Structure 1
Amino acid sequence: MNKERLIPLIVAAALFMENMDATVIATSLPAIAADIGTSPLTLKLAITSYLLSLAVFIPASGWTADRFGARTVFSAAIAVFMIGSIGCALSQSITDFVLARILQGLGGAMMTPVGRLVLLRSIDKSALVGAMAWMTVPALIGPVIGPPLGGFITTYFSWHWIFLINIPIGLAGIFFAQRYIDPIRSDNPERFDLYGLVLAGIGLAGIAFGLSVAGLGLLPWQVVVALIAIGTIAMTLYLLHARRTASPVLDFSLLRLTTLRASMTGGFLFRLGIGALPFLLPLLMQIGFGLSPFHSGLVTFASSAGAMGMKPLAARIIRTFGFRKIMTINALVSSVFLAACALFTPATPLLLIMIILLVGGFFRSLQFTAINTVAYAEVETAQMSRATTLVSVGQQLAISAGVAIGAFAVESTMAWHGTTTLGADDFAPAFVVVAVLSALSAYFFWRMPDDAGSEISGRKAIEISSRKGAAGAAAKTATEETQTARDQRL
């Protein structure tokens, strides 16, 4: 297998482990809580410690990769995540579980941005679309396969195995990373911005954690508002600090690049809407329709099947039509399929639901591939580590905000209906709200230049070839006309 396919699969396997782990716990909460002597509500707060750890450590990922080498840090991140997984399986109390989840978050914070950095530094830009298509698979499959897998393992085996299954995947990831990924590192790493890391960590942790629990009823609303306010103040102070330092942990000056800015602003809105889907859909299937977690997962897995079907076609579609046109139109198409979930009722045939999810997953996969790839179209090699860190932070905040908005929309609908019991009718407005937000992303993609990312997509080469072909045809026609004129004169 060539490098352009092997390295994305190595990175994708590690990211799949992380994305699946983040959701596989959901259906196992009652069993874990009963076993370690706590309540499911308290355990939910412990699980959000993972998000907290992610937010704190992601800003340090770029500098760490430059200083110690992307391959080394990526392998170490997998190892740390594995140790955290073993810690979760061996937990005897809520304190043990919290500490283990924080350790997992540290590994995950390094795994995602550094894995993307490995890909960007190992693959030629001309092959980046195809490589990135495979790397988006974990983000789409993990949240969907997680709940049914967690339910299956907990029901027929033991909840401990939902963490221990990470060990063989992690060992394989480390082995293949050490064997096939080049030891790329920066020859002149920048000075570490510790003060900036503290400010950014507090800011991101406050905002991400606050948004993650907003609308879920896990904390008093005053605490949630305080968390988001503290995070916002810390991020404001960080922005003032970043202007005065030559090596900020989060380099917002990169937003001057047209394609990166469009990917982050438009991508934030798109992910904000789509990120709520793995949260809303299982709840609708289980609480609204009365399906078991396992059967619910089998239905929603259709979305992942559609995503897989797009992978072989993504590079060809983007090369044919270009990033700007595809991302603008596809944002609207994907949003329509997201809004279609609002029409699901207990009477809707499951086959029809699966078909809508299948086709919707196809288009969402294409959009994620385009967003993740075009972000780096104008980024220089020396700026890659900063860019991957910035993009990862934006993605994390978008997902947290998406879940918060989806939960708030459901809670608001329940208040409007005057009920305290969640039912199938309470989900439709939430799907509409997040679909509208996703559709708004089309505006930011439409503002990109028509040739945005042409070096990556290969579209420029096609146009040049077409122009050469047209010029050649014109020259041939002119020659034939000249020859005809000569023949007539003779």
Structure 2
Amino acid sequence: MSQASTSSLKAMLWIVAAGFFMQTLDTTIVNTALPSMAHSLGRKPLDLQPVVVAYTLTMAMLTPASGWLADRFGTRRVYFSAILIFVLGSLFCAGAQTLPQLVIARVVQGIGGSMLLPIGRLAVLRNVSGEQYIAALAFVSVAGQVGPIFGPVLGGWLVQHVSWHWIFLINVPVGVVGLLAVRRYLPGGDTAGAPPFDWVGCGLLSLCMVAFSLALDAPLQASHAGWNAGLAALSVVAALLYIPHARRSRAPLFRLALFREPNFSVGLAGNLVCRIGSGAVPFLLPLLMQLQLGYSPFHAGLMLLPAALAGTLSKRWIVPLVARFGYEKFLLVNTALVGASIASFGAMSPGWPLALSIAQLALFGATNSMQFAAMNSVTLKGLSVADAGSGNSLFSMVQMLAIGLGVTVGGGLVTLFSARLGEAGPAFRLAFVVVGTITLLSALVFRRLDVAELGKGRRAAPASARTP
């Protein structure tokens, strides 16, 4: 490889890594700023949970379309558009004067964010040779690990020393440099014959996710029971309508045969339940620390560092632990540890020992990181080569949906308990116990894993799924 092509390759990897960093940073940087944002907008902090949910739910809905868009319009053009939309969404967020304006701006941000990682991975796949591909993806994935580490700290510092608007404005210079770099270094002209996209299937599944999220987000009061039930019913109907559609369609968004793959359905269900608790923690903890424990935004961000660092360091433990104990036993024990660590946050109160708080956060970060790695593996391990891409896309949708549901459930529980108990302190404690218990329940799902299948490698595509 010539020096010029090597330089272009390195530049492309930095572009993709920067996009991944912006996406993961924006998933976490907002949480420590919520109290300040709420005060500025004249709302209660818990009223801002749609700001988080709108972003993750938008990404969940649009991620499946990213590959088709790249095939139809070209990787460079779509990646450039993704960064541009993300930057414009960031500007709109910084300029929002009301909560509805901020939620709409976060949707715009999510449209751009939904394409940053998938299109970036695709650019690497199409332009990096086989022997360098793993190293290239490893380089890009570092950005995804750095974002959650620095997001809460950077968000807290900006809120405390500048203003909350800068948690969004910081994306603008990074995005402008990225736009210029994409035009210069990202290869173009890679359009392919894009197959027809299943817009009907995508719409049905998107309707299912949105209706389900809104059903959980609606106030849990008797006067809203009909509204909640109607949204839940709409979600179920949309999911059921997808089944006959997928049977009739020549190229459905997700083949129904995916759910006949051993452990895939179990893995999806386990992921959804388990990640509700994990998704609630980054939302609830900064609120607890600032509203109940008296921490400053920057201090609250620093307190989340042990969890992020422990999560990064523990990734190397997962392979030897699974090799020694097996997936089933590891998931049962580790799920219990994740759930217990989440529930333990309910014990935090004014005067709680700092060393104990750090230990709790480190335990959560380490076990949660290993849980994600193990769940990812058992869910996707048995898929055929032909189904791997589609299964991974559906899995990504479920992951983003679960993060949004975690915020919705966690915030809803605090609101409900606050109304019943008359004060927020006990409400936060009870909410952590409940979401920790929800995480523990996912251990019952993982007991249904087919242990024999976990020992096998990825299977070849069945005849009906192979391309001619």
* TM-score normalised over the length of structure 1: 0.74
Corresponding letter in the other structure for 1:433: V
For 1:182 and 1:326, how far apart are their aligned partners in 2?
43
Match of 1:253 in 2: 257
| 1:439 and 2:440 are equivalent in the alignment | yes
Distance in 2 separating the partners of 1:287 and 1:139: 28
Matching residue of 1:63: 68
Is 1:199 matched up with 2:204? yes
Deviates more, 1:123-132 or 1:8-17: 123-132
Q: Which amino acid aligns with 1:285?
A: M
Alpha-carbon shift at residue 95 of structure 1 (Å): 6.8
- 1:335 Cα deviation (Å)? 2.4
Task: Answer whether contact 1:337 1:356 (CA < 8 A) is retained.
Answer: yes
Give how far 1:22 is off.
3.7
Of residues 179-188 and 375-384 in structure 1, the stretch that sits farther from structure 2 once superposed is 179-188
Which among 397, 408, 411 is matched to residue 407 of structure 1? 411
2:208–2:235 Cα contact (<8 Å) kept: yes
Pair 1:111–1:209, CA change in 2 (3 A): farther
1:278 equivalent in alignment to 2:276: no
Flag the 1:440–1:163 CA change in 2: closer, same or farther, 3 A: same
- The alpha-carbon deviation at position 71 of structure 1 amounts to 6.5
Contact 2:254 2:390 (C-alpha < 8 Å) held by counterparts: yes
CA distance in 1, matches of 2:440, 2:135: 23
Between the aligned partners of 2:140 and 2:318, the Cα distance in structure 1 is 10
Q: Which of 2, 19, 22 is the aligned partner of 1:17?
A: 22
Find out whether 1:85 has 2:90 as its counterpart: yes
Superimposed CA distance per residue, residues 302-324 of structure 1 (whole angstroms, 9 cap, x where no aligned partner): 11111121234445555565544
Moved more, 250-259 or 261-270: 250-259
Structure 2 match to 1:356:
360
Mean alpha-carbon deviation: is it higher for 59-68 or for 191-200?
59-68
Pairing partner for 2:292 from 281, 288, 291? 288
State yes or no: 1:298 paired with 2:299.
no
The equivalent residue for 2:108 is 103
Q: Secondary structure at the match of 1:276?
A: helix
Q: Per-residue CA shift, 1:63-98, capped at 9, x if unaligned?
A: 334444567644542332122212333456667645
Q: Secondary structure at the match of 1:192?
A: coil
Distance 1:12 1:327 in 2: 31
Q: Which runs of 5+ in 2 are unaligned?
A: 1-5, 459-468
Q: What amino acid is the match of 1:439? A: L
Q: Is the CA contact (8 Å cut-off) linking 1:10 and 1:177 kept in structure 2? A: yes
Amino acid corresponding to residue 440 of structure 1 in structure 2 = L
CA distance in 1, matches of 2:337, 2:101: 45
2:454 to 447, 452, 455: 452
Sequence identity (%)? 34
CA contact 1:414–1:426 (8 Å) conserved in 2: yes
Q: Give a deviation string over 1:158-177, Cα, whole Å, max 9, x none.
A: 33321121234445666888
> Aligned equivalents of 1:377 and 1:93: distance in 2?
45
Contact 1:88/1:97 (8 A) holds in 2 = yes
User: Is residue 428 from structure 1 mapped to residue 433 from structure 2 by the alignment?
Assistant: no
CA distance in 1, matches of 2:338, 2:53: 29
Q: Partners in 1 of 2:130 and 2:456 — Cα distance?
A: 14
Distance in 1 (alpha carbons) for counterparts of 2:428 and 2:249: 46
SS at match of 1:89: helix
Q: CA deviation at 1:111?
A: 3.0
**Match in the other structure for 1:473:** none
Distance apart, 1:197 and its partner CA? 2.8
Letter in 2 for 1:306: A
Q: CA deviation at 1:452?
A: 2.0
Are residues 318 and 164 of structure 1, via their aligned partners in 2, closer, same or farther at CA, if it must alter by over 3 Å?
A: farther
Q: Deviations over 1:124-155 (max 9, x none)?
A: 7999799689849848963x754553342133
How far apart in 1 are the matches of 2:138 and 2:328?
17
Question: Within 2, Cα distance between the matches of 1:450 and 1:429?
Answer: 39
CA distance in 2, matches of 1:28, 1:307: 22
Shift of 1:254: 1.4
CA contact (8 A) 1:113 1:388 kept: no
Structure with higher Rg: it is 1
Task: Say whether the 8 Å CA contact 2:218–2:224 is kept in structure 1.
Answer: no
Shift of 1:12: 5.9
> Given the superposition, is the C-alpha separation of residues 273 and 25 from structure 1 closer, same or farther in structure 2, using an over 3 Å criterion?
closer
Partner of 1:165: 170
Instruction: Give, as a single letter, the amino acid of the residue that structure 2 aligns with 1:207.
Output: F
- Asked if 1:376 corresponds to 2:376, the answer is no
Whether contact under 8 Å (2:160, 2:296) holds in the other structure is no
CA root-mean-square deviation: 4.4
Q: CA distance change for structure 1 residues 29 and 322 in 2, over 3 Å: closer, same or farther? A: closer
Q: Which residue of 1 aligns with 2:421?
A: 419
Show the counterpart of 2:369.
365
Equivalent residue for 2:247, pick from 243, 247, 250: 243
Deviations 1:412-444 (A, max 9, x none): 5445xx532211x33333323222322333344
Query: Unpaired segments of 5 or more residues in structure 1?
Result: 457-490
Q: CA 1:435 to 1:97, structure 2 compared with 1: closer, same or farther past 3 Å?
A: closer
* CA distance in structure 2 between the aligned counterparts of 1:251 and 1:183, rounded to whole angstroms: 31
Cα gap change, 1:94/1:366 in structure 2, threshold over 3 Å: closer, same or farther?
closer
